[in-house]
Structure 1
Amino acid sequence: MLSSIYLTGSSIDPGELSQAHKSDWRTLAITRLMNHGLKVTNPLEIPWTETEFNFDEAIDLAGSSDQRVRRALGLIDQSDAILANLERPSYGTAMEIFYAYRSGKHVTVFGSSPLNPWVATHSQARFNDIDLALRHIIGNQPRSAPVDWAIHYENQLSERYEQMPPYGEPDYKFFGGDLPILVIAPHATAYFREGEFQEQESFTGSMAVLLNRRTACHALTSNYCLVADPCVYADTPFKTAIKDLVKAGNIGLILMILGSGQQTPGLQIDHCGPTRDYDFEQRLRLKLGALEEIAPVKLAKSQEELDRETGPLSRFIAEELAVPLVTVKLSKRYRMPRLQSMLFSRATDLLAQFVLESSSYLNSRLY
């Protein structure tokens, strides 16, 4: 799993740079860190050239101020560490340092001495120049333990379990990747079905995002309370997002992660969609069989129950989008990383292996 570094701090006005060095510190950091195999999150789009630049026009990828703050916090949550430039202190940089440190992230700062006591208290590494700061990060490769990362991510998500999305924001969240596989968790938050409130299937979203971090697959999870269950209803933003992703990208397999209740303990696996010489269901069954004996979903519930719970979305993916779909249902015991960390880790490891092996097969068919 690649270390992910979030960059924060003001950019340098090119007018202040020497003629021999025309790059912003972010460009330098991105180049150095990525050359050493780290993933970099740069929350700013800075539209400038060597001859024309207006720092005030540097904009975040989101829209309004509230959206920018929420997006920044979300990006920090997904990162393992942050690198902060303190040459031009700002309220935003200070708040991001504070939030990251309190969230258990590794905070590295660089700037002129002496540093403010608040910065010194809320950072693990402090340097006078960017070169030393980058050497420190490259040498230490800070990573969050997968279980700790999942718990922290779920803590943040739990604040939105029963919250409707703010105006203008979707009720889902997409995490881009490089592999031709999309992992979805449509019940990561609470949702409504037939007018009845349904509780979230906890840690299914965290597991999907963790697979994105570990394998570079795509991931799509619910991010706020859903007014309509995307597994059942035809026109939902979540379902539309799946359609758009399949049409826009090279998606050769969709893995849906759901939770199961106490009445259906253990693991269940099902498959639908185009058949190929590579049996995705059987390979996942063999993979997860290391945990316990697995019964097909169809043996655990009647066809009527299956159609009511996930049938419409499954048929849409398999028939209209013509993409193979593998569904795995995890009982609560595999979704309790605080109490059953080994089971959570093992299940995630095996799913990651399945994703990587399936990706190798799909890529071999394309090239």
Structure 2
Amino acid sequence: MHILSLIEQYELQFSNNNYFGDIGVDPSYSIVEGSLPVLVSAPHAINHFREHAVKPADMYTGSLALLLQKLTNCYCIYSNSFSKEDPNYILGGEYKAALRALVKEHRIQFVIDLHGASKLREFDIDLGTLYGTSIRENNLNDVIGIFNNNGITNVRQNHTFSASHPGTITSYCAKELLVQSIQIEINRNYRNPNAFDLFQKTIHSLEQIIKLLGGV
């Protein structure tokens, strides 16, 4: 099946009920296991609740995570149902507990947390690294180099989203689980199936990043 068709097929489970996902499903996350010691996370694949308000989904981050799992056989965790827990903001929670279990049981070496930014942002990609403390410098340089080699050159670091809030997935993994982690904010222009040439650059970049970090 063509990648675009797969993406659209995967996205259906997230766009269900106007991006509230499969309402009432427990737990409100899903896991796909693999063999590569890299975990891709998509906590905002559906609408999420933060500070007494519903925030819209980071569209196509969930389907991108699933596609990357299929392409690389990495591990994957993503939100599948609306809940009052925003996994990338609250301290603790069931999503992070499941993530912890995955990291410990399967000796995950890297966690990549995918997010979506508005097309109005000044960057194509913003890498949140807690200002350089969540991932080794050589690995970060490799990540940036892969994006650049695939034609994504406006890659910032901690420009708008540093992931330094203690409730973020990246902060939790780096500080509590002591595993290298990075938050990747993807401009809407680079996760839009209607601009597939740009979306494909994102897919190829992330696939190569996962394989490199996973030792393939």
TM-score by length of 1: 0.54
Corresponding position of 1:327: 183
Is 1:351 aligned to residue 206 of structure 2? yes
Q: How does 1:54-203 map to 2 (within 5 A)?
A: 144-160=1-17, 161-163=19-21, 165-166=23-24, 169-203=26-60
Residue 329 of structure 1 aligns to a residue whose secondary structure is strand
Which of residues 128, 133, 145 is equivalent to 1:286?
Answer: 145
Residue 360 of structure 1 aligns to a residue whose secondary structure is coil
- How far, CA to CA, are the matches of 1:154 and 1:163 in structure 2? 10
Letter in 2 for 1:280: N
Change in 2 beyond 3 A, CA 1:250/1:311: same
**Deviation at 1:274?**
5.8
Change in 2 beyond 3 A, CA 1:201/1:236: same
**Deviation at 1:296?**
2.8
Q: Residues 336-363 of structure 1, C-alpha deviation per residue, up to 9 Å, x if partnerless?
A: 11x11121122111111111111117xx
Letter in 1 for 2:153: E
Structure 1: gaps (5+ residues):
1-143, 362-367
**Deviation at 1:157?**
2.2
Corresponding position of 1:315: 171
C-alpha contact (below 8 Å) 1:291/1:347 kept by paired residues: no
Is 1:225 aligned to residue 82 of structure 2? yes
- Higher relative CO (CA 8 A, sep ≥ 6), structure 1 or 2? 2
C-alpha contact (below 8 Å) 2:91/2:167 kept by paired residues: no
Indicate the percent of aligned positions where both proteins have the same amino acid: 24
Letter in 1 for 2:145: L
**Deviation at 1:165?**
4.0
Change in 2 beyond 3 A, CA 1:201/1:243: same
Corresponding position of 1:60: none
Residue 227 of structure 1 aligns to a residue whose secondary structure is coil
- How far, CA to CA, are the matches of 1:226 and 1:331 in structure 2? 25
- How far, CA to CA, are the matches of 2:169 and 2:214 in structure 1? 23
Change in 2 beyond 3 A, CA 1:270/1:207: same
Corresponding position of 1:208: 65
- How far, CA to CA, are the matches of 1:213 and 1:295 in structure 2? 25
Which of residues 91, 115, 126 is equivalent to 1:268?
Answer: 126
Letter in 2 for 1:344: F
C-alpha contact (below 8 Å) 2:119/2:189 kept by paired residues: no
Corresponding position of 1:299: 159
C-alpha contact (below 8 Å) 1:180/1:359 kept by paired residues: yes
TM-score by length of 2: 0.88
- How far, CA to CA, are the matches of 1:184 and 1:149 in structure 2? 18
- How far, CA to CA, are the matches of 1:350 and 1:234 in structure 2? 31
- How far, CA to CA, are the matches of 1:354 and 1:208 in structure 2? 13
Is 1:254 aligned to residue 111 of structure 2? yes
Change in 2 beyond 3 A, CA 1:176/1:211: same
Aligned residues: 211
C-alpha contact (below 8 Å) 2:10/2:66 kept by paired residues: no
Letter in 2 for 1:194: E
**Deviation at 1:243?**
0.8
- How far, CA to CA, are the matches of 2:28 and 2:60 in structure 1? 17
C-alpha contact (below 8 Å) 2:170/2:182 kept by paired residues: no
Change in 2 beyond 3 A, CA 1:163/1:180: closer
Corresponding position of 1:88: none
